[in-house]
């Protein structure tokens, strides 16, 4: 049925005569979108190509799309360094624990806050929302984390702050709103408590919301470098992106100091090392995101700006 309707629409469209300017705009569309799409992935191709290039070639002839002297030396060096797998383990564990706990907290709160029969919903919603309107700022936060909570050099300083955000709770609330209130009512009639209604009736219905919020959380944990740069400076095993951050900056400062002494840096393959580390720390995202991007799009259109 739907298909025939679509066919009919297609027929009417094809009967309408397109003007010259339609073709011009369509042409511009194809050219512009193609160029933009290529520009979006081009820098990654440079990094990918250069990660398989020998250090000498990068130094003498620059970065490249296609390696002129193919080698996996940089990757071997990253792996031989030993701690990359530990970093992987750390990031995966933090992502799993953080996303799991965060999902539980956000969905539970989001569900409770959209219940029409919950008299405290406005007070608590405002209490949560206010935190995105006014913040103490970095310095008081830093002092609290390091001196009061003593979380300097603790992985908890990265795990905990990323777990919940007012935006994710609001997003979850909007997803929960779209589930008919009658389901909660029927649960009540059957004698289920509020928590039971949430776990047995709501959670299965909230799957799209859980996927969206969970993926935002997971992306946040995987790409985390900011909290790490504040609190994990002296750790041996670093989250992946902070590890990349350190390698980029240390290679840079090392190179600057060496260059000032007029010595060549052939012995330290810093350029290809950066490229290989970048590929290894970001690879999983590049492979996975095409399959999950629709959930992020869902988040943008459902969550948008509404409180």
Partner 1 sequence: MQNAAVRQKVINDRRPSAGKTLLRNRTLLLMCLPAVIYFIAFSYAPLPGIYVAFVNYNYRAGIFGSPFVGLKNFEFVAKSGKLWMLTKNTILFNLAFILLDNLLSVTVAILLKEIQSKMFRKVSQTMMFLPYFISQVLVGLLVFSLLNSDTGFLNVVLTKLGMEPLRLYKTGDPWPLIIILVHLWQKTGYNSVVYFAAIMGIDDSIIEASMIDGANGWQKIRHIILPSLRPTIVILLLFALGGIVKGDFGLFWNLVGRNPILFQKVDIIEMFVYRATVSDFNFSTASAVGLYQSLVGFVLVLTVNTIVKKIEPDYSLF
Query: Smallest distance, Å, CB 283 to partner 1?
Result: 11
- Residue 220 CB, shortest distance to partner 1, in Å, is 10
State which of residues 16, 80, 116, 204 lies at the interface with partner 1 (CB under 8 A): 16
| Given 76, 93, 131, 207, the residue binding partner 1 (CB under 8 A) | 131
At its nearest, how many Å lie between partner 1 and the CB of residue 63?
A: 5
- Closest contact distance (angstroms) between CB of 96 and partner 1 is 18
The nearer residue to partner 1, 81 or 255, going by C-beta atoms, is: 255
Q: 116: which DSSP letter?
A: T
- Residue 39 interacting with partner 1 (CB under 8 A): yes
**Of the residues 50, 91, 99, 174, which one makes contact with partner 1 according to CB under 8 A:** 50
Q: Which is nearer to partner 1, 122 or 186 (CB)?
A: 122
Query: According to CB under 8 A, which residues from 133 to 152 bind partner 1?
Result: 133-144, 147-148
Residues touching partner 1, count (CB under 8 A): 113
Binds partner 1 by CB under 8 A, chosen from 69, 81, 92, 194: 194
Q: How far apart are CA 55 and CA 265, in angstroms?
A: 10
Are 78 and 275 contacting, i.e. CB atoms less than 8 angstroms apart?
A: no
Q: Should residue 40 be labelled a site residue for partner 1 when binding is judged by CB under 8 A?
A: yes
> ∠ CA 52-54-55 to the nearest 5 degrees?
120
Contact status: 156 vs partner 1 (CB under 8 A): no
3-class DSSP state of 53? strand
Asked whether the beta carbons of 169 and 113 are under 8 A apart, the reply is yes
258 binds partner 1 (CB under 8 A): no
Checking 218-226 for CB contacts under 8 A at 24+ apart, the result is 218/95, 218/99, 219/285, 220/98, 220/162, 221/91, 221/94, 221/95, 221/98, 221/99, 221/162, 222/91, 222/95, 222/284, 222/285, 223/285, 224/94, 224/158, 224/162
């Amino acid at each position: 049925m739907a298909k025939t309707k679509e066919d009919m629409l297609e027929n009417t469209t094809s009967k309408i005569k397109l003007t010259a300017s339609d073709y011009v705009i369509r042409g511009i569309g194809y050219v512009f979108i193609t160029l933009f799409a290529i520009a979006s992935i081009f820098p990654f191709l440079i990094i990918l190509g250069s990660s398989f290039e020998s250090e000498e070639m990068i130094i003498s002839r620059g970065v490249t799309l296609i390696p002129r002297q193919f080698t996996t030396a940089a990757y071997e060096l990253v792996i031989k360094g030993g701690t990359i797998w530990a970093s992987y383990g750390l990031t995966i564990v933090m992502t799993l624990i953080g996303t799991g706990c965060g999902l539980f907290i956000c969905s539970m709160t989001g569900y409770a806050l959209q219940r029409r029969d919950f008299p405290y919903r406005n007070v608590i919603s405002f209490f949560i929302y206010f935190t995105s309107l006014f913040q103490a700022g970095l310095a008081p936060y830093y002092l609290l984390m390091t001196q009061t909570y003593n979380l300097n050099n603790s992985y908890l300083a990265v795990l905990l702050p990323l777990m919940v955000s007012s935006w994710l709770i609001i997003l979850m609330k909007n997803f929960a709103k779209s589930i008919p209130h009658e389901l909660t009512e029927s649960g009540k009639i059957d004698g289920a408590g509020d928590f039971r209604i949430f776990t047995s009736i709501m959670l299965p219905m909230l799957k799209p919301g859980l996927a969206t919020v969970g993926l935002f959380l997971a992306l946040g944990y995987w790409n985390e470098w900011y909290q790490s740069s504040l609190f994990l400076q002296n750790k041996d095993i670093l989250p992946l992106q902070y590890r990349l951050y350190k390698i980029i900056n240390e290679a840079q400062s090392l190179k600057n100091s060496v260059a000032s002494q007029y010595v060549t840096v052939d012995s330290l393959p810093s350029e290809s090392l950066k490229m290989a580390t970048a590929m290894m720390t970001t690879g999983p995202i590049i492979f996975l995101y095409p399959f999950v991007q629709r959930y992020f799009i869902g988040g943008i259109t459902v969550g948008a700006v509404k409180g």
